[in-house]
């Protein structure tokens, strides 16, 4: 009766030491060539994205500081992630058809595609340059009107370019 062959023994130590050697070599090279390093020391250093970058949303405001949004729902209808929720109401001004009493975006569901921005007929929503979205729990990522239009970084709000043809003075 023939015996089964002995199982082959694989030694992983050479591969482990080779990997450690490569890591040490790269680390020492990086320490001596910090200006050529491929990584940034975040958060002290931040990457400058292109002006076309689509980051956190901004609801623009009119000259009087009120929301530009007319609650037409086109952005919510076009959103592929179904993450925009708008509650519309009649405006006290009879010349304005309606406006949003609540406008919320679930930032955890958003895929930052920009469809909402493109769907809006009145330049009421834009994708801004901010990309740091942080929070301690899920509710921190539901952005309402105060976050979207009047968060401190917007310094009072970003004026729409449609008001009297003025260019936006966006400065976050
Ligand atoms: S960027 Fe895209 S996914 Fe995010 S709210 Fe706008 S349409 Fe929806
Ligand atoms: S942001 Fe623009 S598309 Fe969305 S509801 Fe307001 S006006 Fe309509």
DSSP per-residue string spanning 68-82? ------HHHHH-TT-
Return the best residue to mutate from 73, 110, 145 for the ligand 2 pocket (most ligand atoms within 8 A of CB).
73
Residue 140 in domain: yes
- Return the CATH number at 123: 3.30.70.3270
Calculate the CA 56 to chain-centre distance.
4
Residue 155 in domain: yes
From the CA of 100, the nearest ligand is: 2
Using a 6 Å cutoff on CB, does residue 125 contact ligand 2? yes
Centre a 10 Å sphere on the Cβ of residue 51 and count the other Cβ atoms it contains. Answer: 6
Q: For residue 154, give Cα distances in angstroms to 29, 48, 57, 59, 172.
A: 41, 18, 11, 10, 5
Q: Residue 170 pLDDT > 60, yes or no?
A: no
The domain in which residue 127 lies consists of 57-165
* Longest pairwise C-alpha distance within the chain: 100
Residue 79 in domain: yes
- Residue whose CA is at the smallest distance from ligand 1 atom 4: 110
Q: What is the pLDDT of residues 3-53, one digit of tens each?
A: 777 777 778 899 999 999 999 999 999 889 988 888 888 889 888 899 899
Residue 46 in domain: no
Residue 55: is it exposed, middle or buried by C-beta count within 10 angstroms (0-12/13-18/19+)? middle
Closest by CA position to 100, among listed 82, 130, 119, 75 = 75
> From the CA of 76, how far away is ligand 1's center (Å)?
8
Residue 72 in domain: yes
Using a 6 Å cutoff on CB, does residue 112 contact ligand 1? yes
Residue 7 in domain: no
Dist CA 127 CA 36 (whole Å):
32
> From the CA of 127, how far away is ligand 1's center (Å)?
9
What pTM value is reported for the model?
Answer: 0.77
**Tally of domains in the chain:** 1
Residue 119 in domain: yes
DSSP letters spanning 84-121 = EEEEEEE-SSTTS-EEEEEEEEETTT-----HHHHH-T
Residue 36 in domain: no
Nearest atom within ligand 2 for CA of residue 70: 7
Q: What is the pLDDT of residues 52-104, one digit of tens each?
A: 999 999 999 998 899 999 999 999 999 999 999 999 999 888 888 899 999 99
């Amino acid at each position: 009766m023939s015996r089964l062959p002995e199982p082959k023994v694989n030694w992983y130590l050479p591969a482990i030491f080779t990997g450690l050697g490569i890591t040490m070599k790269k680390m020492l090279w990086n320490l001596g060539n910090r200006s050529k390093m491929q990584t940034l020391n975040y958060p002290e250093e931040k990457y400058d994205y292109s002006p076309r970058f689509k980051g956190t949303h901004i609801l623009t405001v009119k000259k009087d500081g009120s929301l530009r949004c007319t609650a037409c729902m086109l952005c919510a209808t076009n959103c592929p992630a179904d993450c925009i929720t708008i509650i519309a109401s009649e405006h006290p001004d009879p010349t304005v058809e309606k406006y949003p009493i609540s406008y919320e975006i679930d930032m955890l569901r958003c895929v930052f595609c920009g469809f909402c921005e493109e769907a809006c007929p009145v330049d009421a929503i834009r994708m801004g340059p901010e990309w740091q979205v942080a929070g301690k729990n899920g509710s921190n990522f539901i952005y309402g009107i105060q976050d979207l239009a009047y968060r401190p970084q917007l310094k009072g709000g970003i004026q729409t370019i449609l008001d009297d043809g003025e260019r936006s003075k966006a400065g976050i």
